Each structure stands twice: as structure tokens, then as C-alpha cells.
Structure 1
Amino acid sequence: MSEIFPWTPAAVVFDCDGTLMDSERHWEDARDLVLREYGVIPDEEFAELSKGVHYTECGQLMAVTAGRPELAPEMTRKLLDGFRSLVAEDPVIAPGARELVSRAAEFAPLAVASNCPRDVVEDCLDTAGLLRHFAHVIVPEKQVRPKPHPDVYLSAAAACGAEPMDCLAVEDSLCGIRSAVRAGLRVLGVGSRPDRESLAMADHWVRSLEDRALLVWARSRALSGVLR
């Protein structure tokens, strides 16, 4: 079996929601609860538009969808509160994430680049026992714009001391893939139902982090014994 990447990344940067943690469904549930409170039943188009975007942008999108754009701050607050509660009740690590992260940490520095608040990301990863593997958690703040802007991935690469072109991003959403590609990283896409644009931009795609070829690749890189 040939390796999926004949190359060792100088750093690996993971998305969190939907990639390391099975928490995208919590965002979906939180969005649904807020919208239904305002008499709106979200459709598939809304689900696609809202996936992976910064929570403040999602709040604005929900307010516009509900025909109440002036309520964006209120709906954003309710969205974030609902998500925090759902994650606290049921934090679930994505299949294969634990082994992939532990193997990758043996050959490259790791970072997380997320659109979520820092405390949410760190709490999720800590609960899953993964936080100790990550030297850096990068989220939108100050001059760092959220995905799909390239800022979080550029900042993650810089924090790891690597050039973006030498780094691998692991992403599940079109928004995140656009961010990583714009930053110049190579991309491993993850998910069972990728859209055409995501497939076209990703360097390789797997249905889940349990993918056999992916884990074989990570083990082979770890066995090389070179920690960048």
C-alpha cells in the first residue's frame, strides 16, 4: 500500500469541531433550538451555509434567516450558551482521533486552529485527553480573523515554527478547507459526505480519522523517529 502523503509535515494543524471532536452535531442542535424559538425550521441550505463558520457569523445568519437581523447579538449568545451546555453533557471524540493525534505528535509539533472560543476548544480537548498533545490552540482574536480567512492557519504555522507550505491541515468543512488552502497548507479532508469544492481543494480525503491508510501513514512517519 503506497503512503497517502510521501512526505513528513513540519507541523500538523487540526480543526476541532467535526474533526477531532464529534461536536458539529451539537452546533446543529444548538442552531435548531435557537431558530425554532423564533419560529423557524432550518433547512439543508441553512445547514450548509452555517457549517464551520465563526459563531458570531452564524448568529448573524440565523437572525437574517428568522427575519430579525437586529437580534443577531441575542441569537449569537443563545447559540453559544446552547452549544456549551450540549458539549458539557455529551463530549464525544471523533473515531480515530486519539490514535492519529498521538502518532502525529511523535513526528511533528501539533496545533489546533478553530473558529470556536478558546475555552470551549481547550475544555473539549482536555476532556478527551488530547490537549496535552497540542503546543498551540489558535482561535480568532484581535487581528486574527476567523475562517474562511487564512489567519488562524497562518498563525498556527508560525507558532509551530514552520512554513505554511510544509504544514498539513486536517479539516472537515468547506469553510475550514478554504482557510487552510488560502494560507498555503496542504489539506487532509475528513467526512463521509464531502461537497465537490472541498474534494477539489483537499490533497487527500478520508471518510474518517479511522481510515486504515491514514493511520498506516501516521505510524510510518512516527517510526521514522524524526520530531520536527
Structure 2
Amino acid sequence: MSRIDFMPQAVLFDMDGLMLDSERAIIDCWREAARELALEVDDRLWFDMIGMHEKDYVPMMLRTMTEQQVHALREACHVRYHRRIDAGMPLQPHVLDVLGDLQGRGVPRAVVTSTQRERAHLKLRTSRIASFFEIVITGSDVIEPKPAPEGYLKAAAALGVDPARCVVFEDSAFGVRAALAAGMTPIQVPDLIAPDADTRALGHRIATDLAEAYALLPRADAAMTA
């Protein structure tokens, strides 16, 4: 992969799946909730919902469930998931190294997530990475969630930087499309779902982990190996 050919004015991060190892946790919670309610749900649904805002995944659930079942399933899942959030979500590999180096270099940082505001801030606090970010844009702060570019454009505006000079770290295809639509440079670090042919055809960089992604930034490779 070619390195980024400009020094970014800011680096923007997705949260779930990219920094927090939370996708596995939420899938486990969906499964447990479905078993508790004696609902037979195709396991593929949970994976298809990864990276989606609830306004998009609820209609998917309604294709095979009643409104009452969807409501009960979401409530049962959220109770379980909140317990895990309170305990602190585990971090993905290299997150602290990358955030610490960016902070040390004075590069502005923001989170752009589809998670609703209260839960997003709680996740960042209990995982002890909230202090690394000047700006957090959540699903509560936008009208159109990813893959729309609104969240990323709001983050750039809040930081006072040019979207074209922003690098975005994302794990999902929705996030990559949002970053591209915002005119930013995304680097994808897939978590549970490998990029499909349509996603790869977008032509962006795809890394195996956050350290490899960060090494594509100017000076980052030297910083990570120093």
C-alpha cells in the first residue's frame, strides 16, 4: 500500500469495532436476548447490522419479526450490553499506541460514531480513552448517519480543518463510504467482516490492524517502531 502523501490536519476515528472490541460483545448480547425470548433468528442478521444506525437496522429486523418482538429483543439486548459497557469495553490492538503518539505530536483527533450520544460517551469513559479526543460526533448529532458524510463533515468543521486534509480510520464499509463522501482519506481496518468486492472496488487502503494503518501516515512508521 502507498503511504498517505500529505500530513493530516486531523485524524478521525470510528469507535465500535475500530477502537473498541465491542462488535463481538453486541452480537453475543443479541444472541442471548433472542434465546431468552425463544426467538429463532438467523445469525447472519447480527453481522449484517454491524456499523448500522438503529433507524436502518430496525427495518431489517421487522422483515422477520413483529414490532413487539423487535421491541422486546432490543430491550433485552440493551440491558446485557449496558452491563458490558459499565465494565469497560476491551480495546482493539495498538489503540493506545496510536492515540498516544498522535496526542504527543499535537495532531487533532475526533470520534465519529453512529452510537447515540449518552452511550457513546459512556463507552469512551469506561474504556478510558475519552481524554484523547477533542471532539465526539455521535448518532444523536446528525440527521443522516453513515454512509452519509454528515458526521465526518461536522467533525472537521468543529476542529476547524479542511476535510480534504483529514485521515479517517474505519472498520466498516458504511464508514469508509461516509469518509469518501466527505472528501476525506479513509484507511479501513476490518474487524468481524472482511471487505466484499464492492467495498474493495472503492479503491481505498485496507490494513490488517491499526498499527499497519497508522504506519501509512507520514512519520508514523518511525514513531511506532522507535
Q: State the TM-score, normalizing by the size of structure 2.
A: 0.83
Q: Which has the higher mean CA deviation after the structures are superposed, 77-86 or 179-188?
A: 77-86
Return the offset for 1:118: 2.0
Partner of 1:42: 42
Aligned residues of 1:59 and 1:73 also touching (Cα < 8 A): no
Q: Which has the higher mean CA deviation after the structures are superposed, 54-63 or 19-28?
A: 54-63
What amino acid sits opposite 1:208 in the alignment?
Answer: D
Return the offset for 1:161: 0.9
Question: Measured at CA, do residues 143 and 99 of structure 1 come closer, stay the same or move farther in structure 2, by a change above 3 Å?
Answer: closer
Return the offset for 1:84: 1.6
Q: Deviations over 1:18-47 (max 9, x none)?
A: 001110111211222333325223233x23
Structure 1 Cα separation of the partners of residues 199 and 80 of structure 2? 28
Partner of 2:184: 185
Instruction: Say whether 1:203 aligns with 2:209.
Output: no
Question: Measured at CA, do residues 20 and 9 of structure 1 come closer, stay the same or move farther in structure 2, by a change above 3 Å?
Answer: same
Partner of 1:28: 27
Structure 1 Cα separation of the partners of residues 51 and 173 of structure 2? 7
Question: Measured at CA, do residues 116 and 194 of structure 1 come closer, stay the same or move farther in structure 2, by a change above 3 Å?
Answer: same
> Unpaired segments of 5 or more residues in structure 2?
none
Structure 1 Cα separation of the partners of residues 202 and 79 of structure 2? 33
Alignment: residue pair count: 219
Aligned residues of 2:215 and 2:221 also touching (Cα < 8 A): no
CA-based RMSD of the aligned residues comes to 2.6
Q: State the TM-score, normalizing by the size of structure 1.
A: 0.83
Partner of 1:68: 66
Partner of 1:83: 81
What amino acid sits opposite 1:17 in the alignment?
Answer: D
Aligned residues of 2:13 and 2:112 also touching (Cα < 8 A): yes
Question: Measured at CA, do residues 147 and 128 of structure 1 come closer, stay the same or move farther in structure 2, by a change above 3 Å?
Answer: same
Structure 1 Cα separation of the partners of residues 62 and 80 of structure 2? 16
Question: Measured at CA, do residues 77 and 164 of structure 1 come closer, stay the same or move farther in structure 2, by a change above 3 Å?
Answer: farther
Instruction: Say whether 1:134 aligns with 2:133.
Output: yes
Give the counterpart of 1:92 among 90, 93, 100.
90
Question: Measured at CA, do residues 145 and 218 of structure 1 come closer, stay the same or move farther in structure 2, by a change above 3 Å?
Answer: same
Structure 1 Cα separation of the partners of residues 141 and 126 of structure 2? 27
What amino acid sits opposite 1:5 in the alignment?
Answer: I
